[in-house]
Amino acid sequence: MRKSYKASNFLNTIEKYAKRQRANSLDEMKKQEELELRKAEEEIIEEANAMINKELIAMKNKISVEVSRKELQERKKVSRRRKEIMKDMFKECRKKLVGFTLSEEYESSLKQYANAISKVLDSSDTQLFIKPEDMKYKNTILKGFGKECKIEIAKDISIGGIRGYSFSKKLIVDETLDVKLKEQEDWAAKQFGVLLV
């Protein structure tokens, strides 16, 4: 019986050892499984965060593009409106200048324009150009110029004023209301970025 007791004891010891080993293996497997599971969770979370960030960046880019597009549209609207306002304003200015040419003050302005031209173009070959309707002020213009000169009609002067030209000096002095208005339009275009075409 001793042998059997020893064998039984030996088998019990082996069984206990096997159970401990199995328990240790199961614990180790459980720990490894938990580790793998945590690692997989972390990878999934990392991938999900990467996808979310990618989506957020795409959404931000889309929103930025849309905002830029709308801002550009609004700027174009403002620019068109500004152009319309400027055009209307210069149309009104043109009307007022034409109205001024029908007033009594216009004749004295023509005399002043002729005088200003005579200070720059003092040669005898100076020729003055006016619109056809201003020929009635010929004597006033000659008085203002102060010396002999030829007065011609210019079809490109539509509002009024005088343009002088000296052949010997090859110089033009423009005191027309047409040019003065155009200079103001050019100034406005430069200041406000509006071309009035």
- Residue 23 structural domain: 1-71
Q: Are residues 65 and 113 in the same domain?
A: no
Q: Is there a domain that residue 2 lies in? A: yes
Q: Is there a domain that residue 60 lies in? A: yes
Residues 141, 130 contacting (CB under 8 angstroms): yes
What's the pLDDT score for residue 194?
57
Q: Is there a domain that residue 88 lies in? A: no
Q: Record the tokens describing residue 143, joined without a space.
A: 């008085």
Q: Is there a domain that residue 96 lies in? A: no
Q: Are residues 63 and 3 in the same domain?
A: yes
CATH code for the domain in which residue 120 is found: 3.30.2320.30
Which residues of the chain, if any, have pLDDT below 50? Answer: 1, 197
Question: b vs e for 46-72, b when ≥16 Cβ sit within 10 Å of the residue's Cβ?
Answer: eeeeeeeeeeeeeeeeeeeeeeeeeee
Q: Is there a domain that residue 23 lies in? A: yes
Measured CA to CA, the distance from residue 25 to residue 143 in angstroms comes to: 124
Measured CA to CA, the distance from residue 42 to residue 32 in angstroms comes to: 15
Q: Is there a domain that residue 90 lies in? A: no
Q: Return the bridge partners of 166, or none.
A: 126, 171
Measured CA to CA, the distance from residue 89 to residue 68 in angstroms comes to: 31
Q: Is there a domain that residue 97 lies in? A: no
Q: Are residues 61 and 118 in the same domain?
A: no
The region, left, alpha or beta by phi > 0 then psi within -120 to 50, assigned to residue 70 is alpha
Q: Is there a domain that residue 169 lies in? A: yes
| Count of domains observed in the chain | 2
Q: Are residues 125 and 57 in the same domain?
A: no
- What's the pTM value of the predicted model, to 2 decimals? 0.63
Q: Are residues 57 and 117 in the same domain?
A: no
What's the pLDDT score for residue 3?
60
